[in-house]
């Protein structure tokens, strides 16, 4: 028997209109939207400073525990309570049509509630520029999750004639998928603490199924999961609706067991289908940047694979991984399948399920892929799992690239595509690393008499290039595609000459230098060269050989660099770190403000498209007047909040303990100056120039690789990307630059930033005024001292010896007073600055509080207003239906 649309629509219309005929329905929607606002725009939302619904995504399953039972509790229970269910089932309609009509009605009510919650999106667009595609996926996930749980709520309603009981039962049924990922913690030890059991319950969880939707993807497995719940629960609704036909008969018990068996079979079929589709890992990427689809660069590399060479990718992957590595494993498997399909017969993919102590694990170790010990929390305890997540790409007998570990922040597609491109090259390009005191290529440490490991940047370059050490002790004549020179300011006089001669030859060179390298402050350009051996007694070091003149290099490049100044930035775009990150850690990112220019230049592929970098005590370079070289600023700091700090105000060179940081240096903003932290320098004059100069050595320290790999502190920095882009640009290998830069756009709360910027500027002005007042008072105190000394010196009644004695006594007395005055003036200045800082923080907190208040209060208003309008219309209609004579008679009786 086919379903009749007009019958389904009649049932749908009756139930849908009945829900909105009273105020209670609107009240539930208002509460739903209000709770969503509280969850979406929490304090953490403003701390993260990202225009997205991440906070709501995290708690939305809990929100469904309220709204779903509230909508469905009256679907069947009211019918049974009032007895209209018997009338309903006597209509010329099948049980399936009635069940489907009721389900569509509650689904429509939920859709209306979700439509009212679109006010969250309006608030996001008022605060920033969110990703429209990601928001679409978010709301599709919300709708699918609600649609699935509504069928469970309806089943709860058909079990009872009491709406409160239906609400409770519905909440309990919905809690099963909502909390299934936590069930493993309360099961017996042999189940709950077994990784496979935990993964099973995790996959059954609503949060896990909504994860891809939250990222901006539409997974086929997620859609099937929600459809499966809906089909199964609607079948149970249909069984209960048809129960009246057979429950009282002679075969009632037999029919009950029969329908139970059918339900079990249906569950098995649906679960099997979910397992099959989960392994397919088919997902539609709807993000604006298409972050989860194979990029054009990858497609190009795969389409150009040589016909006579077959590429083999062997991925050694643990069958079960801790929860935080599930997205890594899923993405890796999905990409490998897409590579296999896109490359055809030119590429083979071998996925090896690798467990600890298995033959597969031994095979992985032959390639240098070993298990990593990963700590995770399971069953309320911190446990350690041995996990394999590595791959080896082979293009021949001796041509392979090993990726030993894919971490949570590893750009998987970039790693795979670059490895494929590397093994298909007939000859690798060569990168030379100049041997300097920075020792980024590792080597013997004569001070500790131990071997220093190579920096992560060198390890990363070896995946794509042949990397060799280059000595500056003699003429540099190697055939390099690019030479990397870390801290050339540490070179000796003859070494500097050899290096400058190489740069003058026009060969590609990447230069890092630093006024204050955080990884080793003793290598600061301003300080003398340390001794290559150990220190003397009491830590006193023997002087090293004199440094070469860095100006020889700067003059050749046509740039100016004050090696005794470092750049600071008083504005931190990450509020959660505002109290712990000092201004010398310069976050370079897009700023809103008058006169602000783009922080990353679009003129060069090295910096084009980057979003944020972090530099530590960087220097500033600028082109010299009259220079014929082309100077392209790659990274520039913000004008409104940056300045420079002299080295002697930042560092004190202690005779025993070496360089020491000075507390609370005086910082003055120069809003009229551009500070260029990195630049591309080229010239066609003579042999030419082909240089990238970066005024910060710490930009490629190991810390930034760790931040990228582990996604530490929720930072998504482009430090590694920027440096690797510079190497590729200079080496003439630009193919992977677009792929490496591929990432989500940094979508901050621009409105909040603009509102708070005023108070940050006010704080800087107050700080400058406090510094000026302190300087003025100190100048007056010094003037009094000089005036007293001059008065004694000009007294004709005193001989020279008396003058000398009195001057010394006066200087000693006034100097003591001056020292006390200095302390008092400095304390008063610091007190004023602290007070202004507290007031600024209060103002910023007040602004965020007001924005948060309106973000929470505004979304429920449309539903509330509509509910009031409907209530007024209903009251008016009721009064209009009353006979006027009765109203008059009633009034007369009361009179």
**Topology of the domain comprising 296-419:** Glutaredoxin (3.40.30)
Cα maximum dimension of the chain: 136
Lowest mean pLDDT among 623-637, 659-673, 744-758: 744-758
Q: Residue 599 and residue 840: Cα distance in Å, rounded?
A: 26
Question: Which one has a higher pLDDT value, 591 or 6?
Answer: 6
| Residue 242 pLDDT greater than 60, yes or no | yes
In sequence order, the β-bridge partners of residue 469 are 433
Average pLDDT, the chain: 83
pLDDT bracket for residue 857 (50, 70, 90): confident
Residue 427 burial (C-beta neighbours within 10 Å; 0-12, 13-18, 19+): exposed
Report if pTM > 0.75. no
157-161, 257-261, 888-892: segment of lowest average pLDDT: 888-892
Of the listed ranges 115-124, 456-465, 661-670, the one predicted with least confidence = 661-670
Backbone angles phi, psi at 510, to 5 degrees: -110, 120
Residue 540 has pLDDT above 80, yes or no: no
In contact, 745 and 288? CB cutoff 8 Å: yes
Does the structure show a pLDDT above 80 at 706? yes
Comparison of pLDDT for 301 and 778, the residue scoring more:
301
More confident site: 595 or 859:
859
Please report, for residues 86, 403, 854, the alpha-carbon distance to residue 95 in angstroms, rounded to integers and kept in the order given: 12, 58, 47
Cross-strand bridge partners of residue 383? 376
Instruction: Categorize the per-residue pLDDT at 890 as very low, low, confident or very high, splitting at 50, 70 and 90.
Output: very low
Please tell me the predicted confidence (pLDDT) of residue 417: 94
Q: Report the pLDDT averaged over residues 690-713.
A: 93
Cα–Cα distances (Å) from 652 to 213, 618, 647, 665, in that order, read 53, 18, 9, 12
What is the Cα–Cα distance from 139 to 135, expressed in whole angstroms?
6
Residue of 510, 443, 424, 514 lying closest to 729 (CA atoms): 510
Contact 484, 434 (CB under 8 A): yes
Query: So what's the pLDDT on residue 655?
Result: 62
Write down the pLDDT at residue 168.
93
Query: SS3 of 51, please?
Result: coil
- How many CB atoms lie under 10 A from the CB of residue 175? 17
The three-class DSSP label of residue 632 is: strand
Better pLDDT: 564 or 745: 564
pLDDT at 667 over 50: yes
pLDDT band, very low/low/confident/very high, at 822 (cuts 50, 70, 90): low
Average confidence (pLDDT) over 834-852? 73
Q: What is the residue-wise DSSP string for 809-862?
A: HHHHHHHHHHHHHHHHHHHHHHHHHHHHHHHHHHHHHHHHHHHHHHHHHSTTHH
Measured N-to-C along each axis, helices 54-72 and 23-40 cross at an angle, to the nearest 10 degrees, of: 160
Pick 669 or 68 by higher pLDDT. 68
Instruction: Indicate if the pLDDT at residue 211 is higher than 90.
Output: no
Question: Does pLDDT of 817 surpass 90?
Answer: no
pLDDT of residue 744: 65
* Distance between CA atoms of residues 282 and 337, nearest Å: 10
- pLDDT at residue 142 is higher than 90: yes
Does the pLDDT at position 432 exceed 90? yes
pLDDT at 252 over 80: no
Q: In this structure, are strands 559-561 and 372-378 parallel, antiparallel, or unpaired?
A: unpaired
| Mean of pLDDT values over 822-844 | 70
Distances 629 to 398, 551, 600, 797 between C-alpha atoms, Å: 43, 16, 20, 67
């Amino acid at each position: 028997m086919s379903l009749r649309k007009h019958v389904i629509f009649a049932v749908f219309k009756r139930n849908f209109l009945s829900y909105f005929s009273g105020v209670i329905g609107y009240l539930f929607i208002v509460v739903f939207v209000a709770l969503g606002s509280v969850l979406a725009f929490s304090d953490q939302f403003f701390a993260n400073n990202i225009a997205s619904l991440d906070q709501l995504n995290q708690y939305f399953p809990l929100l469904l525990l309220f709204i779903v039972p509230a909508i469905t509790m009256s679907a069947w229970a009211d019918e049974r309570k009032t007895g209209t269910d018997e009338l309903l089932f006597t209509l010329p309609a099948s049980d399936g049509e009635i069940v489907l009509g009721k389900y569509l009605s509650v689904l429509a009510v939920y859709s209306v509630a979700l439509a009212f919650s679109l006010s969250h999106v309006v608030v996001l667009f008022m605060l920033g520029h969110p990703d429209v595609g990601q928001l679409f996926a978010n709301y599709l996930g919300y709708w699918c999750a609600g649609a699935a749980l509504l069928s469970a709520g309806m089943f709860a309603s058909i079990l009872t004639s009491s709406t409160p009981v239906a609400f409770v039962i519905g909440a309990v049924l919905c809690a099963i998928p909502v909390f299934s990922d936590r069930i493993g913690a309360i099961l017996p030890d042999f189940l709950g603490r077994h990784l496979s059991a935990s993964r099973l319950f995790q996959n059954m969880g609503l949060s896990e199924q909504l994860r891809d939707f939250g990222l901006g993807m539409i997974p086929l497995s997620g859609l099937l999961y929600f459809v499966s719940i809906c089909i199964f629960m609607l079948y149970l609704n249909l069984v209960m609706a048809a129960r009246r036909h057979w429950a009282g008969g002679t075969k009632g018990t037999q029919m009950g067991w029969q329908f139970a068996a059918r339900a079990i079979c249906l569950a098995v079929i649906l679960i099997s289908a979910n397992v099959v589709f989960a392994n397919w890992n088919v997902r539609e990427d709807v993000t604006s940047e298409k972050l989860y689809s194979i990029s054009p660069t990858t497609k190009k590399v795969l389409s150009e694979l040589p016909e006579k060479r077959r590429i083999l990718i062997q991925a050694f992957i643990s069958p079960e991984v801790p929860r935080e590595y599930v997205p890594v494993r899923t993405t890796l498997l999905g990409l490998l399948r897409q590579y296999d399909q896109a490359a055809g017969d030119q590429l083979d993919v071998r996925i090896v399920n690798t467990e600890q102590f298995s033959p597969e694990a031994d095979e992985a170790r032959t390639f240098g892929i070993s298990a990593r010990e990963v700590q995770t929390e399971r069953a309320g305890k911190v446990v350690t799992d041995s996990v394999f997540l590595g791959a080896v790409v082979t293009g021949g007998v001796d041509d392979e690239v090993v990726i030993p570990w894919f971490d949570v922040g590893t750009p998987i597609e970039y790693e795979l595509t670059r490895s494929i491109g590397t093994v298909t090259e007939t000859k690798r390009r060569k990168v030379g690393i100049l041997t300097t005191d920075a020792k980024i290529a590792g080597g013997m440490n004569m001070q500790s008499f131990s071997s220093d490991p190579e920096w992560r940047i060198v390890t990363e370059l070896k995946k794509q290039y042949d990397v060799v050490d280059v000595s500056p002790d003699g003429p540099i004549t190697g055939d390099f595609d690019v030479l990397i020179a870390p801290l050339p300011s540490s070179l000796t006089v003859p070494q500097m000459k050899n290096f400058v001669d190489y740069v003058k030859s026009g060969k590609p060179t990447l230069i890092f230098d630093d006024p204050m390298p955080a990884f080793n402050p003793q290598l600061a350009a301003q300080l003398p060269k340390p001794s290559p051996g150990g220190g003397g007694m009491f830590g006193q070091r023997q002087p090293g050989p004199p440094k070469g003149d860095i100006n020889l290099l700067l003059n050749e490049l046509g740039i100016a660099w004050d090696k005794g100044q470092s750049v600071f930035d008083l504005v931190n775009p990450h509020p959660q770190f505002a109290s712990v990150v000092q201004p010398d850690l310069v976050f370079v990112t897009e700023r809103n403000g008058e006169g602000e220019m783009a922080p990353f230049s679009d003129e060069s592929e090295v910096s084009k498209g980057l979003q944020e970098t972090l530099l530590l005590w960087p220097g500033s370079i600028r082109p010299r007047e009259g220079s014929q070289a082309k100077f392209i600023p790659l990274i520039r700091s913000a004008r409104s909040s940056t300045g420079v700090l002299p080295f002697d105000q930042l560092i004190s060179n202690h005779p025993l303990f070496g360089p020491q940081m000075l507390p609370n240096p005086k910082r003055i903003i120069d809003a009229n100056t551009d500070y260029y932290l990195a630049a591309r320098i080229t010239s066609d004059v003579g042999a030419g120039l082909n240089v990238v100069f970066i005024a910060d050595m710490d930009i490629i320290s190991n810390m930034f690789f760790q931040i990228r790999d582990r996604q530490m502190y929720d930072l998504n920095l482009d430090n590694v990307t920027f440096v690797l882009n510079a190497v590729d640009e200079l080496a003439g290998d630009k193919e992977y630059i677009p792929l490496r830069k591929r990432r989500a756009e940094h979508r901050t709360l621009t409105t909040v930033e603009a509102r708070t910027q005023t108070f940050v500027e006010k704080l800087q002005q107050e700080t400058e005024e406090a510094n000026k007042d302190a300087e003025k008072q100190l100048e007056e105190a010094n003037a009094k001292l000089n005036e007293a000394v001059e008065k004694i010196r000009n007294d004709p009644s005193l001989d020279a010896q008396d003058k000398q004695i009195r001057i010394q006594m006066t200087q000693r007395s006034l100097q003591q007073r001056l020292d006390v005055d200095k302390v008092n003036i400095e304390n008063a200045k610091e007190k004023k600055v602290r007070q202004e800082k507290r007031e600024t923080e209060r103002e910023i907190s007040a602004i965020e509080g007001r924005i948060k208040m309106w973000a929470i209060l505004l979304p429920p208003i449309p539903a509330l207003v509509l509910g009031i309008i409907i209530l007024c219309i209903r009251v008016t209609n009721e009064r209009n239906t009353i006979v006027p004579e009765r109203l008059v008679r009633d009034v007369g009786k009361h009179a």
